[in-house]
Amino acid sequence: MRFDLTDDQEFFRATTDRFLTELVPVGELRRLRHDPMGFDDKYWARGAELGWTSLLVDEALGGGSISGDGLADLSLVAYEFGRHAAPGPLGTANVVAAALSAAGGDHAGHLDAILAGQAIGTWAYGEPAPNDGLGAVALTIRVEGDEVVLDGVKRPVESAGRADLLLVTGTTDGGLTQVLVPDGTPGVTVTPLVSVDMTRRFATVRFEGVRLPASAVVGAIGGADADVERQLRIAVALANAESVGAMQMAFDLNLEWLQDRYSFGRPLSSYQAIKHRMADMKCWLEAGHAIADDAIVALGAGTPEADRLLSAGKSFIGDYGSELMQECVQLHGGIGVTFEHDLHLYLRRHTANRALHGTPSEHKRRLTDLTELEEDHA
């Protein structure tokens, strides 16, 4: 999390922290494990009142930021979501809100409902194998008269089982098209998936001859490539911030444990070998903070290095965050692998985020491609 927060940003972050502490403490997270939806409507509506869904939306359409940089403000919420392993499709809901905002007033009614917390939107982007690579889209959207027809499968789709609106990305004659699909549309089948995350729900969504009026299209038919790329940047930036929050909480729990746990009359934190391991973990944690924050600043400023920083961050945080989490589990000893200890809540959140919006390996390849492209243009 950035060290140069304004007073308003710090108040916003602290307010989100208190809200999540009150509404979704660890005991509630454990209870929600058996809830098929993962959270209740009042929780999400109150979060929307705090601004969770409006920070990437133009002021003229009912949104607005705190600092002038909505993504930086939203990353503070994402960080707290990671620290609390909080439920709710924060990243994908804001991708939908940002997409509708960019489209202007074409879907004003739906956007108003999302901003008020009366409707939940989620992004149906990823697909199952063999089309599960970063950037691969096989679902087709074809135009037939004054309708569009969707055929294909999306997986995983966060909160698909309770979403009121699905923003579906597909291909049309070689270009990308996006369509807003309301809940209950004929031809849409939602099948729940088993998730490692305790409170987030994912599903496979199948579209079989789904017909919608052309007015359901968000943006230009066959011309949404730039829009989708912008949405992916937002999703990766927020996932990175959330993962760093989970890393921070795991590190803090581990540090407290090592200071409180005694062996041979000394706290575990006093042993040199453990100090060395903690020093490595601290380096990984601070580097995760730094690269996640730098990417968000670059993206907000529209600088050329934003894409490289986002992919570098997704790769680094995915790999070294996993190392940090496993170290925390090991240093806790036997209790670290029990369900009763809280550590696994944050390990689960980080593990789920690691696989979403491109794996570390895929982002390394993306980073290589971006670097080679820059060298060719130099």
In angstroms, the CA 26 to CA 19 distance is 13
Q: Is the pLDDT of residue 88 over 80?
A: yes
CATH of the domain at 328: 1.20.140.10
Residue 204 in this model has a pLDDT that exceeds 60: yes
| DSSP label at residue 67 | S
Domain with 233 in it: 225-377
Reported as a single tens digit per residue, the pLDDT across 93-131 is 999 999 999 998 789 999 999 999 999 999 999 999 999
Residue 329, domain member (yes or no): yes
Residues 156 and 179 placed together within one structural domain of the fold: yes
Q: Cα–Cα distance between 249 and 299 in angstroms, integer?
A: 26
Question: Over the stretch 258-315, which tens digit does the pLDDT of each residue have?
Answer: 998 888 888 888 889 999 999 999 999 999 999 999 999 999 999 989 999 999 999 9
**Could you tell me if residue 1 is inside a domain?**
no
Q: Is the same domain home to 39 and 61?
A: yes
- How far is Cα 19 from Cα 166, in angstroms, rounded to an integer? 27
261 within some domain: yes
Whether residue 142 has pLDDT greater than 80: yes
Are residues 350 and 243 in contact, defined by beta-carbon separation less than 8 angstroms?
yes
Spatial separation of the C-alpha atoms in residues 365 and 357, rounded to whole Å: 14
Asked if residue 11 and residue 99 are part of one domain, the reply reads yes
Split into its structural domains, the chain has a count of 3
Note whether 147 and 206 are same-domain residues.
yes
Q: Are residues 257 and 341 in the same domain?
A: yes
pLDDT of residue 21: 97
pLDDT of residue 23: 96
Say if 201 falls within a structural domain.
Answer: yes
User: Does 2 reside within a domain?
Assistant: no
CATH code for the domain in which residue 176 is found: 2.40.110.10
Does residue 153 fall inside a structural domain? yes
User: Does residue 308 sit in the same domain as residue 285?
Assistant: yes
CA distance 24 to 87: 8
Asked if the model's pLDDT at residue 377 lies above 70, the reply is no
Residues 48 and 188 in one domain: no
Same domain, yes or no: 273 and 371: yes
CA distance 368 to 87: 34
Please give, one letter per residue, the 3-state secondary structure of 306-351: HHHHHHHHHHHHHHHHHHHHHHHHHHCHHHHHCCCCCHHHHHHHHH
In this structure, the answer to whether residues 36 and 115 fall within a common structural domain is: yes
Boundary-marking domain end, from 58, 93, 119:
119
Claim to verify: residue 60 and residue 21 sit in the same structural domain: yes
Give this prediction's pTM. Answer: 0.95
Are residue 193 and residue 235 in the same domain, yes or no?
Answer: no
Q: Cis link prior to 186 (omega < 30° from 0)? A: no
Q: Which of 66, 94, 119 delimits the end of a domain?
A: 119
- Residue 18, classified by CB atoms within 10 Å of its CB into exposed (0-12), middle (13-18) or buried (19+), is exposed
Rg (CA), the chain: 21
The helix/strand count (H/E) of the chain reads as 11, 9
Residue type at position 66: I
Q: Which of 75, 99, 119 is the last residue of a domain?
A: 119
Give the C-alpha distances (Å, rounded to integers) separating 122 from 165, 182, 186, 237, 377.
6, 11, 18, 16, 37
Same domain, 198 and 292: no
